Structure 1
Amino acid sequence: MTIASLLEPVTGQPGPARLTHAADWMQGRTLYGGASALVAYTMATRAFADLPPLRAGQIAFVAPVGEEIALSAEIIRQGRNVTQVRSEIISDGKVALSAFWLFAEGREANALQPAPPPENWPGPPEDTQEVTHSFAPSFVAKNFELRHGQTRGDDRGATVRRWARLTEAHDLDPVSKLVLMGDVMPPGAMRVMQRQGSISSINWSFNVLDPESRSRDGWYLAENASQHAAAGYSSERLRLWDADGRQVLDGIQCVAVFG
């Protein structure tokens, strides 16, 4: 099942939609977070033509997203350079996902500060070993190829880092691909859990650093790192770099840690 098949029911018109090809993207009872965010993003871009490039997104994962949903999108404010759009996924008559998107035209730069390359660069993906999917959710095994992004034996702390790329041929635009892949790694808190338990993303806020990113052979280095974990929650930093070490996405996330 292709990602295009999942997005086909998203026409840009508000109202009911049935995601008939959602099975390969499910994570337990709900659609994988990157896929559900992409559904909401696609709703926004198909509802309103000629939007500027996406610069930032704020996603609230409120409730499980299944096959039977309803979609909505509205422009909150539209200025000369910036357009702000809210889109939502409704399930069983209640909000299951609420997203706020910031689209903005580029301007002449008055500040220049390139993002630094990743610490402990693992080398290009083609030089690293493939990761087996024995412990990964089924949607990862069906849709992604993973390679190691951390040196074995090193103290990885509360960080999960992997090279990742989609296994299917697709025609996603660069930003849609970043939205889909930006949440693919499990939380870094997984590495410091004291006992087995489930983990659930509550929100995700990110900035798009390069809306035209087209990484070599589709590879991106994805990292989730817990900045602070206590009281059943973890504050995570999520980052994506292209195959040449250029950061293209920077985000944060609150994760519930159960058990």
Structure 2
Amino acid sequence: MNFSEILANTKRSGSTLTSPIPQEWTQGRTAFGGLTTALAYYGARELTDETRALRGAMISFVGPTTNEVTIEATPLRSGRTTSSIRAEIKSNNISATEAIFTFADLRSDSKIHHSPPASPAPTSPVSDSSLEVMRPNFPQFYNNFEVSPFQGMPFSNAKQPDISWWVRHRDPAAHNSLEGLLSIGDALVPAYGTAMREWTPMSSMTWMINLLTDTATTEQGWWLLRSTSDSAGGGFTSQNMTIWNTSGDCVLMGRQMVTIFG
């Protein structure tokens, strides 16, 4: 089941949505975090009819998510320019993912401007046909994506925990939707995985993101994802995350806490 089919099979009953979690979208004993984030956002939109642009989100991956989930959304506040909505995903009637989404349109009268980081990649799979495109078969959810590594490889004993890959959905219907972008934003192996020698299980715990545009679009579905780790110890690593489109525009920045089981 591809990403758009999951959304198409998400059904509403009163104030709750029910969505399938196909086995091919899992990693270990839980669903891929990008998928649950996208479902939480989809639920926040569908259940509240919010129309303003997504500006930011704070996500906590509370517990495992399997088989089928329910999604509930609660408006926390709606002001003149901004609104906040809490979305909860439950698995087996137990909280699995908690998210707070902030919605606000860009203001044209703002006099403050500071450019975000420039893209480190001079070309993309759209502009350079020589770039290798592959479909990793591990973790399992990677079967839903195509990737073109730009910098860094998992478990390569790298000196610096830094990884940048071009990633896109195999599902064309997900190429330019915000749900598609959110579901792909957590697709990289955590940055610290590049500094390790061998496969070690890892899992996202929290994810905070800021959207830098009202309309996140790219060519042929390709997004450049970069993750860098600024600290690690005691079984946890803190990392920065950035996403650019094929035009080199920075569209998303974030922070994430990841637990390392090894």
1:181 lines up with 2:181 in the alignment: no
Residue 222 of structure 1: aligned partner: 225
Sequence identity (%) = 28
**Change over 3 Å in CA distance of 1:44–1:18 after alignment to 2:** closer
Q: 2: distance between equivalents of 1:125 and 1:173?
A: 16
- Please report the RMSD computed on the Cα atoms of aligned residues, expressed in angstroms: 2.2
**TM-score, normalising length: structure 2:** 0.89
> Is 1:25 matched with 2:28?
no
Q: Is contact 1:14-1:70 (8 Å) kept?
A: no
Match of 2:208 in 1: 205
- 1:35-114 superposed matches below 5 A: 35-107=35-107, 108-114=109-115
Provide the C-alpha distance between the structure 1 equivalents of 2:223 and 2:232, rounded to a whole number of angstroms.
Answer: 26
Give, in angstroms, the shift of residue 194 of structure 1. 5.6
Equivalent residue, structure 2, for 1:241: 244
Distance in 2 (alpha carbons) for counterparts of 1:207 and 1:26? 25
Cα pair 2:159 2:195 within 8 Å, conserved: no
Structure 1 unaligned blocks of 5 or more? none
Unaligned runs of 5+ in 2: none
* 2:208–2:254 Cα contact (<8 Å) kept: yes
Q: Give the residue type in structure 1 aligned to 2:136.
A: H
| SS of equivalent residue, structure 1 residue 125 | coil
Aligned match for 1:232, one of 231, 235, 242:
235
Contact 1:40 1:88 in 2 (8 A): yes
Residue of structure 1 equivalent to 2:148: 147
8 Å CA contact 1:159–1:188 kept in 2: the answer is yes
Q: Give the Cα separation in 1 of the matches to 2:14 and 2:99.
A: 17
- 2:176–2:218: 8 Å Cα contact kept in structure 1? no
> C-alpha distance in 2, partners of 1:83/1:9?
24
**Residue number in structure 2 paired with 1:158:** 161
Q: Is the 8 A contact 1:146 1:164 kept in 2?
A: yes
Q: Higher mean Cα deviation, 219-228 or 4-13?
A: 4-13
- 3-state DSSP class of the match of 1:190? helix
The letter for the 1-side match of 2:145 is F
